[in-house]
Amino acid sequence: MRTIETVEDLKSWVRDMKESGQTIGLVPTMGFLHEGHLSLVEKAKHENDKVVMSIFVNPAQFGPNEDFDRYPRDLERDQQLAASAGTDIIFAPSVEEMYPRETQIAISAGAQADVLCGAKRPGHFDGVLKVVTKLFHLTEADRAYFGQKDAQQLAIIESLVDDYNFTLTIRRGETVREADGLAKSSRNVYLSETERKEAPHLNKALQLGKQLVLEGNNPLPAMTDYLNEHVSGKIDYIELHDYPTLTQELHDEAILALAVQFEKARLIDNVIINLKGI
């Protein structure tokens, strides 16, 4: 495995791969890898000749009071894990390399960013679209892999690719969970011992809500009561939307999603519900 830090070196490698007819799978990350990221690498390895993982903590998607400076970083550890999963190239640019000058053209995530996490993080998904657009062009990937845990991000990126005729395909990866059901996240390291014991109740609340939705009931009151009883963190939101449009009118699939703010970590989780009963 090779680590590339500059745009020019990445473009040179991509050019060589394309000239030899190799397909490229891209796994965008902000590092501090866990099994969820590695499952995406395994999926990409199965479907492509080469796998590029980007490791870049993207300042464009962090707000003024968010945790950019303390976001966990450990490149050496990430390199070992990425290599063990079969990654061919790590692209780990500096902020200056990725954004050498102030960007003049802005990309807006639109109405899909006005619900769930985006409602309280203005500009966050604009920053996500900014970095993935650059990564899609730089890697010339045939397929890019994103986890369902960040389901709003996934839906918005799928819209970007569809609306603007990107040539790559977005591939979804299922949420990877701990044995007790907690969705794996780089931010889980910030949970206290007590909070870590409480955190699996987020998924339990979602499963309760899913059953209520399938029975034709409003899941939000029961989920709110359940979480208030079982976790010390503050509920940020519990919402039900169509998926992937994120509108209020439900069709074939729905997303039931929640966010809970613990003392030092804000955890999100969701479940996609097939409303057709198949």
Q: Tell me the CA distances in angstroms from 189 to 29, 36, 40, one per residue in order.
A: 17, 15, 21
Q: According to the annotation, is 220 in a ligand binding site?
A: no
Annotation marks residue 230 as catalytic: no
Q: According to the annotation, is 161 in a ligand binding site?
A: no
State the Cα–Cα distance between residues 267 and 190, nearest whole angstrom.
10
Contact 120, 61 (CB under 8 A): no
Q: According to the annotation, is 35 in a ligand binding site?
A: yes
Contact 165, 159 (CB under 8 A): no
Q: According to the annotation, is 68 in a ligand binding site?
A: no
At 251, list the tokens.
């069709």
Instruction: Map residue 77 onto helix, strand or coil.
Output: helix
Q: According to the annotation, is 185 in a ligand binding site?
A: yes
State the catalytic residue, choosing from 37, 124, 201, 241.
37
> Helical H runs in the chain?
7-19, 35-47, 75-85, 95-98, 124-139, 151-163, 193-198, 201-214, 220-230
User: What phi and psi, each to the nearest 5 degrees, are found at residue 52?
Assistant: -110, 130
Q: According to the annotation, is 32 in a ligand binding site?
A: yes
Q: According to the annotation, is 33 in a ligand binding site?
A: yes
Q: According to the annotation, is 211 in a ligand binding site?
A: no
Q: According to the annotation, is 77 in a ligand binding site?
A: no
State the Cα–Cα distance between residues 243 and 213, nearest whole angstrom.
14
Q: According to the annotation, is 150 in a ligand binding site?
A: yes
State the Cα–Cα distance between residues 135 and 1, nearest whole angstrom.
19
Q: According to the annotation, is 70 in a ligand binding site?
A: no
Q: According to the annotation, is 21 in a ligand binding site?
A: no
State the Cα–Cα distance between residues 29 and 149, nearest whole angstrom.
13
Q: According to the annotation, is 202 in a ligand binding site?
A: no
Q: According to the annotation, is 277 in a ligand binding site?
A: no
Q: Tell me the CA distances in angstroms from 256 to 55, 56, 59, 81, 109, one per residue in order.
A: 29, 29, 28, 32, 20
Known catalytic residues are: 37
Residue ranges for the binding site?
A: 30-37, 61, 147-150, 153, 176, 184-187
Residue ranges for the binding site for (R)-pantoate?
A: 61, 153
Residue ranges for the binding site for ATP?
A: 30-37, 147-150, 176, 184-187
Residue ranges for the binding site for beta-alanine?
A: 61
